[in-house]
Structure 1
Amino acid sequence: MNIKRMRVSIITLRRKCRSWGHQRGLCVLSILVSLVILTIRYLTITERVEETDLNPCLVPKEQRRWLFHLLSTVSSLLSHLAITHFLCYDSLWGAVQESGPLPWDAHAHLCALNEKVAVHDEAELLRAFRRRGLALEYSSAEGQYTIKNSSAIPDKWEAPTIQIILFEEDDRVHMLRRVGWKRRVLPPDCDAHPSLQCFPPNLVALPLPERPFGPLTLPAPREDIDLLKFHYPDTWWRPLLPQC
């Protein structure tokens, strides 16, 4: 019975109660029971509406579990390959702000040192990830890998991915700068070219500390806020807001 019909039934009961005489107490009890049911239904519907209206970007728990499993596998594999990696960009913000992913973020960001990646040839990396059931794609323009699960996942939501953004040190400016051919043509002037996304090497000097990230513990920069200042120079001082 929906709420509108319930209201009509209560009004009808009230009218009948006037003519029930000695059975009026039973009638009143029926009205009270109907009111309780109506209240419960109203509160349930209101709660669902509020969740939908106020949290349209929240990632479902099941999707979040897939992300954590993927992230755990990727970090373990990178460590096995001796590739220095750490939380960065939105995932670093999430670690600082939420001790896990941002509530609306279904994906994850890790940064890695290109000199550690370059030790392995491309075929070796592809085989290593395929053995773990992972698909690996590289964008030479952006200097980043995209990793996702090779197996089928529920089509109710977007498949989680992990972006691994590569950085290497430029000896001319003694800063780590993002790789990729779109940036290699730029002169080594971090201030003049924000797209280089430079930051000082000491922020990721080994050994790296670890930070909680949901149920996981992942490598992080030595000074997380300092790195966020380089990632988000114009907005680092305020929490990120959902982009949806």
Structure 2
Amino acid sequence: MQVSHECERIVCRWALRISWRAVIVTFLCFVIFLYMMFTMVNDRYIHHLTWYEQPAPCVTPKFIMDRMIELTFAVSNLLTKLNISHVICYGTLWGALRNGKILPWDNNVHFCLLKNDIQKVPWHTLQENFRASNLDLSYDVRHGEYIVTQGPAQAILSVFYLTPYDEIFQDGFEHRLMWFFQDNPVSFPSRLIESPFNTVLFHGQPLPVPHDGIEILKYLYKDDWWLVKPPPGCPERAR
């Protein structure tokens, strides 16, 4: 019994030395760890389909497509006005290089830009300028993307940052903290998005594109960059 009481006194003494701040910090770290592990398992093993492998209409309705075209140039003009270098990328670049317009099945337009450029503009200034053009702007901190919407149309502004090794990586805490869990983290040489840029005609108007044309798509779509990827069950050229 005496040994038992002595053990209890030792435990109590150590418990009193542990501050509530340490307990709270430890608990928060544990919660963050669980969230990161859940995100990894969810993205890799449960919802691991890329966007072009998910069911979607073969042809985007015309009224949505028209709004997407308007949104593309509205966003590009605003970014130019704010001196934020940008290029079209991902599926939007594919459509521009392939036939000079949005792919028939696309449901958004996509831009790529550098974090150093957009961070020069305060958040409230960004919001005010987009709001003045009747555009809603939000930021997805997890994926490092600005989301611009106007009615049914959506534009995604993917933010990238430059490393000391002259490589570009995608921003967002998930990409920064969990890159070692990703099969193919997105990265490419910085020269591909160094301004000034060339332009291509997109729905009859010039838009900035990355250097070397299709080269950046080899990094964005590493395994199948050369393939046209309509939604499952759709012909390559949707009517």
What TM-score do you get using the length of structure 1 for normalisation? Answer: 0.68
Corresponding position of 1:242:
231
Corresponding position of 1:204:
193
Structure 1 CA distance, aligned partners of 2:172 and 2:79?
A: 20
Q: Displacement, 1:238? A: 1.8
**1:181 corresponds to 2:155:** no
Structural mapping, 1:15-54, within 5 Å: none
Return the structure number with greater relative CO, CA threshold 8 A, min gap 6. Answer: 2
Structure 2 residue runs of 5 or longer lacking an equivalent are 1-56, 234-239
Q: Displacement, 1:241? A: 2.1
Q: Displacement, 1:242? A: 2.6
Which range is displaced more, 138-147 or 196-205? 196-205
Task: Answer whether contact 1:97 1:239 (CA < 8 A) is retained.
Answer: no
Q: Displacement, 1:204? A: 1.4
- Amino acid of the residue matched to residue 160 of structure 1? A
Q: Displacement, 1:88? A: 0.7
Corresponding position of 1:167:
160
Corresponding position of 1:107:
108
Structural mapping, 1:191-230, within 5 Å: 193-230=182-219
Q: Displacement, 1:216? A: 2.7
Secondary structure at the aligned position of 2:106 is classed as coil
- Amino acid of the residue matched to residue 217 of structure 1? P
Structure 1 CA distance, aligned partners of 2:145 and 2:184?
A: 14
How much identity, in percent, do the aligned residues show? 29
Structure 2 CA distance, aligned partners of 1:186 and 1:118?
A: 23
Structure 2 CA distance, aligned partners of 1:243 and 1:213?
A: 26
Task: Answer whether contact 1:140 1:181 (CA < 8 A) is retained.
Answer: yes
Structure 2 CA distance, aligned partners of 1:76 and 1:92?
A: 17
Q: What whole-Å deviation, never above 9, does each CA across 1:35-56 have from its counterpart, x for those lacking one?
A: xxxxxxxxxxxxxxxxxxxxx5
Larger Rg: 1
Corresponding position of 1:8:
none
Corresponding position of 2:38:
none
Aligned length: 178
Structure 1 CA distance, aligned partners of 2:184 and 2:223?
A: 14
Structure 2 CA distance, aligned partners of 1:64 and 1:214?
A: 11
Structure 1 outlier segments of 4+, above 3 Å:
192-196
